[in-house]
Amino acid sequence: MILHLIRHPKPCIEPGICYGQLDISAENSAAIAGQLKRQLPDNLPLWSSPLRRCRELAACLHIQPLFDERLAEMNFGDWEGQAWDDIPRTQLDAWAADVAGYAPPGGESPLSLQRRALDFVADLNVPEAVIVTHAGVIRTLLAHWHDLPPERWTELVFAYGSCTRVDVPR
């Protein structure tokens, strides 16, 4: 199965704020959609995270996008909407010590995010699709498919509005 994994455009939020599942708009969705349409095959089904920054782009790319909660960004729990500098150092250190397994208070771990994203892909029954989602979702999927250990997950970086094509092993 071929997947075109698209990261949402740059969110409309101040730098330095933790915004995993905060429902915020994004910049330039229509312009970015115009660029992406030139890269994508025509008439592919499109699924999207239901978060606004993805929803807006998905609506510009496809007449009938489908939405799935499993494509939402990581839930940062109590950290959502806080400045990274205001999050207790002990919590950030605990996350750094267990990059994949640590869950912020009231949130989820990257491994939990990876499980729900992989469940979504396992449920797809199409030869090719477009998915509009978040860097965390794309990162954990590619880390799984490339068998990367968690300490290397942060090496996977995706620009806002970028498309990553992957041939998913079945």
Provide the mean pLDDT of the chain. 96
Q: pLDDT per residue over 111-136, tens digit each?
A: 999 999 999 999 999 999 999 999 99
Angle at 65 between CA 144 and CA 35, to 5 degrees: 80
Q: pLDDT per residue over 95-112, tens digit each?
A: 999 999 999 999 999 999
Q: In which band, very low, low, confident or very high, does the pLDDT at 39 lie, cut at 50, 70 and 90? A: very high
The pTM score is 0.95
Q: Which of 65, 55, 59 lies closest to 26, judged by CA? A: 55
Q: pLDDT per residue over 143-168, tens digit each?
A: 999 999 998 998 999 999 999 999 99
Structural domain boundaries in the chain:
2-167
Q: What superfamily does domain 2-167 belong to in CATH?
A: Phosphoglycerate mutase-like (3.40.50.1240)
